Structure 1
Amino acid sequence: MERLRHRKGYFYLSIAVISEIFGTSMLKLSDGFTSLLPSIGVIIGFVISFYCLSISLRTVPLSLAYAIWSGLGTAITALIGVLVWGDSFTIVSFGAIVLIIGGVVLLNASSGHGENAAEPSR
C-alpha cells in the first residue's frame, strides 16, 4: 500500500512538471499578458502545477520534489525554446541542460527512493 502512495506522489509530481511547462509556454504566447487565452493558460497551468506539487509532497521529500519540478521544467522548457521559438542553442546550453538533469538524477539516487519521505503531520 505504501508503494502505491509513493507512486501516486510521483504521478502528481509528473502532472506538476507538465503543467508548469504548459504554463511557461503560455507565458511566452501571452505577449506580456496582452493576449487573453494564453494569459488564462498561464494561470491554469501554474495553479494545476502548484496544486499537484503540493499533493506530491505528501510522499515525495521536498528537496527531491522541488529539484525534479524545477530542474526538469527548466530543461524541457529550454528545449522547447530552442525547438519551437528558435532560441539559440550552443554547447554551453547543452552542457547546462545536461548538468541540470544530472543533478536531478544524483539527488534522486541519494534520496533513498523515498525512505525518508515526509509523513503528513497531524
Structure 2
Amino acid sequence: MLPRPWIFLAAAITAEVLGLSTMKMASETNSLAFFAFMYAMIGLAFYFFATSVKDLPIALAYATWETCGLILITIISVRFFGENLSPQKMAGIFILITGVAMINFGSKESPETSK
C-alpha cells in the first residue's frame, strides 16, 4: 500500500485531471454544472496537494503532480477530444518523466545532509 502522502498526491492528480477534462467540456457547452464540477475538482486537487506536501518535498510533489497530470491529460485529449500526439509531444513527455526521476533521486537524503 502507498504511504499516506502519496495517496493524497494521487488524489490531487485525479481531481486535477477530472477538473481539467471537465474544463474542456465546460468551455464547449457553457454548462453551469460543468463549470461547478470543474471548480470543485480543481479546489479539491489543491487541498489534496497541500495535504501531501506536509510530508513530501514540495519540489518532488509538484513535479510528480504536474507530470502525471500532463501525461493523463494528454492521453484523455488524444482519446476523447481528437487531439494529436506528435513526436515532439512524446519527446516532451519523456523529458518530463526523466526530470521527475532526477528530482526524486535528488530528494533522497544523503548521510552528509542528515547530520
Task: Provide the TM-score with structure 2 as the length reference.
Answer: 0.86
Runs of 4 or more above 6 Å deviation: none
Query: Shift of residue 56 of structure 1?
Result: 0.5
Distance, in Å, in 2 between the alignment partners of 1:45 and 1:32 is 18
Amino acid at match of 1:11: I
Q: 1:92 to 1:39 in 2, by over 3 A?
A: same
Structure 2 residue 27 is the aligned partner of structure 1 residue 31: yes
Aligned to 1:96: 92
**Residue 79 (str. 1) matches residue 75 (str. 2):** yes
- Measure how far apart 1:88 and its partner are: 1.3
Distance 2:87 2:100 in 1: 20
Q: Following the alignment from structure 1 to structure 2, what is the Cα–Cα distance between the partners of residues 17 and 9?
A: 12
How far apart in 2 are the matches of 1:34 and 1:62? 35
Match of 1:10 among 6, 12, 33: 6
Taking the aligned partners of 1:109 and 1:83, their CA distance within structure 2 comes to: 32
Amino acid at match of 1:87: E
Letter in 1 for 2:26: S
Q: What is the letter of the counterpart of residue 85 of structure 1?
A: F
Q: Which runs of 5+ in 2 are unaligned?
A: none
Conserved? CA contact 1:23–1:44, under 8 Å:
yes
The one of 48, 57, 63 equivalent to 2:53 is 57
Aligned-pair Cα RMSD in Å: 2.1
State percent identity of aligned pairs.
Answer: 25
> Distance between the aligned counterparts of 2:98 and 2:80, measured in 1?
24
Q: Which residue of 2 aligns with 1:107?
A: 103
